[in-house]
Amino acid sequence: MNRNSENPFYLVSASPRRGELLNRLGIEPLLSPVDLEEFHDPALSPEELTLSLANQKMTLFLDEKGPPGPGETALTADTIVHIDGRHLGKPRDRDEADEMLRLLSGREHLVSTGFVLITGGRRFGEYVSTKVKFRELTPWDREFYLNSGEWHDAAGAYKIQEKGEILIKWIKGSWSNVMGLPISRIYAILRDNNYWSD
């Protein structure tokens, strides 16, 4: 079950949250972010867009590093919160974060993560979506959460794995997907491609 340290797992992301999720599988990824100037094709659905962005990141990573060697693995991912035809990215400031929380309050939205995984010499590209419904947020609720500072660097202005859980009424689908990586699906692909075999 142990992986040889000579066979690195490259996580093409600067997200500590995605790294934490991989840690739960016993994987210590090498964080290898790329500086991508994202191209958003307006013809794509939100789900397709996440996969397109993950593919863009993988292409840039491979251009810089070259293809993974035997036993090496690489993973890219992109997560989008969407509602009413809008993509909610990371808020620029507190006012924009408050605007996002107002929009999500008491309503259902979708969180989609697209990922590209290269392992065992094979390439996989998929997306996973999770439905999330917020509670009705009072002005005090929003102020309390905004004061936590968690809205920084968070798509949709919240982090479900931290205090952001207090905003949630229910979710349908993968909890870890809302955090930024559908870890059950990643595990299944790695297992089926003998990632943990000696």
Catalytic positions, written as ranges: 78
Cα(100)–Cα(104) distance, integer angstroms: 6
Beta carbons within 8 Å of 182's beta carbon, 6+ residues apart: 113, 115, 128, 174, 176
* Other CB atoms within 10 A of residue 131 CB: 13
d(CA 145, CA 132): 17
- Residue 174: how many CB atoms within 10 A of its CB? 18
